[in-house]
Amino acid sequence: MMSAPMMPPAYADIYRSVGKIHRVLEHTIKSAISRFDLTVAQFQVLETVASGRASSPAECGREINLTSSGMTNVLDSLEHRGLVSRGREGADRRFITIRLSPDGDVLYQHAAQAVSASWDKAVEALSAEQPLLSALCAARPSSAAD
């Protein structure tokens, strides 16, 4: 019986480190935004729209890795709370835009400050991963940097 090829130990370490980073950062964000009654997905949508990286549901969904139906659910809840608005602009009425409302902008600013304030704790928790992540970044092909 042939044994399956083993993943190089360094790759397994990287995989575990990336998983740990995701868990620590998600926990940090959840804790920081809980007082604003926001989910991580809702905060990500507010952040993505506020930063200008996305102005449509499709762009936003791609940016934060959310399905179309998941994006609709998040936008429905944010719109119900008066934090975002959806509208149609221009000649192509099929294109939907997302905008933060004034209340949404204020809430996002406060939530973003809370996330930023808690970031140091997350970075501290991840300090053991730093050498491995630095090695990963140094080992990437030069074409990945472009």
Q: Are 122 and 25 in contact (CB under 8 A)?
A: yes
For residue 146, being part of any structural domain is answered with no
* Domain-embedded: residue 99: yes
Inside any domain, residue 75: yes
142 lies in a domain?
no
Residue 44 located in a structural domain: yes
Owning domain of residue 101: 38-125
With a cut of 80, say whether residue 8 has pLDDT above it.
no
Cβ neighbours of residue 100 under 8 Å, at least 6 residues apart? Answer: 46, 49, 50, 83, 84, 108
Query: Tens digits of per-residue pLDDT, 18-73?
Result: 888 888 889 999 999 999 999 999 999 999 999 999 999 999 999 999 999 999 99
Q: How many domains does the chain have?
A: 1
What is the model's pLDDT at position 80? 98
For the domain that residue 119 is a member of, what is the CATH number?
1.10.10.10
Residue 101 included in any domain: yes
Q: How far apart are CA 48 and CA 79, in angstroms?
A: 15
100 in a domain, yes or no? yes
